[in-house]
């Protein structure tokens, strides 16, 4: 840490985080990020199917899917973090809502506020667009994610999520 001229501590060498929409040129870096996420979760990686899924996300309407990426240092850098949020109508929120399916930050970019910036961007955009609520899940042992979501105003629900791969 260093000090600013006015005295408060300032993080030294903290990169600038840019939040943008995913774009066609991000296809390969996004496939890599999603692959890393699946490996971290000990889930199988099917490269061809994952590439096809990323293509679908990149071509999706923002009325259906938000694909938001974080870049370090400049707006044309490859993505180091990603959020995938699906829009849907929720009875719980009585209207349009979001399901954050994925939040992933590359290990090399962690501890720089990338995840916080990504989720805060989605929350702000949701407010601007009149979204009534946001749901997501975090793995029980992922304390940093739990702290992040709670710091941004999310609350834990007493629910379990089930999955059936087909």
Task: Give me the mean pLDDT over the 48-69 stretch.
Answer: 97
Task: Please state the separation of Cα 158 from the chain's center in Å.
Answer: 23
**Residue 45 within a domain:** no
In a domain? residue 70: yes
For residue 38, what is the enclosing H or E element? Answer: helix 27-40
Write the pLDDT tens digit of every residue in 76-103. 899 999 999 999 999 999 999 999 999 9
The parent domain of residue 86 ranges over 16-22+61-151
* Per-residue model confidence (pLDDT) at position 75: 87
Question: What mean pLDDT, rounded, does the chain reach?
Answer: 89
Residue 100 lies in a domain: yes
pTM (two decimals): 0.86
CA distance linking residue 18 with residue 109, whole number of Å: 12
Residue 5 lies in a domain: no
What is the domain-level CATH number for residue 146? 3.40.630.30
Average pLDDT over residues 49-56: 98
35 in any annotated domain: no
Which residues have C-beta within 8 Å of that of residue 139, sequence separation ≥ 6? 41, 145
Query: For residue 55, is it within any domain?
Result: no
pLDDT at residue 74 is higher than 80: yes
Could you tell me if residue 144 is inside a domain? yes
Range scoring the smallest mean pLDDT among 11-20, 83-92, 104-113: 11-20
- In angstroms, how far is CA 34 from the centroid of its own chain? 11
What is the pLDDT, as a whole number, of residue 11? 52
Q: Is it the case that residue 3 has pLDDT exceeding 50?
A: no
- pLDDT band at 8, cuts 50/70/90? very low
Count of the separate structural domains present in the chain: 1
């Amino acid at each position: 840490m260093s000090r600013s001229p006015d005295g408060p501590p300032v993080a030294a060498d903290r990169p600038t985080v840019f939040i943008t929409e995913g774009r066609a040129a991000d296809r390969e870096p996004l496939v890599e990020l999603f692959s890393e996420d699946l490996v971290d979760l000990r889930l199988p990686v099917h490269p061809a199917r994952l590439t096809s899924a990323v293509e679908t996300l990149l071509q999706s309407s923002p009325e259906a899917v938000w694909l938001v990426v974080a870049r370090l240092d400049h707006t044309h850098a490859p993505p180091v973090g990603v959020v995938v949020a699906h829009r849907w109508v929720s009875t719980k929120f009585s209207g349009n809502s979001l399901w954050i399916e994925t939040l992933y930050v590359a290990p090399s970019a962690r501890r720089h506020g990338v995840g916080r910036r990504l989720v805060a961007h989605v929350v702000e955009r949701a407010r601007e667009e009149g979204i009534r609520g946001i749901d997501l899940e975090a793995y029980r042992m992922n304390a940093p994610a739990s702290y992040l979501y709670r710091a941004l105003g999310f609350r834990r629900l007493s629910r379990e999520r089930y999955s059936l791969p087909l």
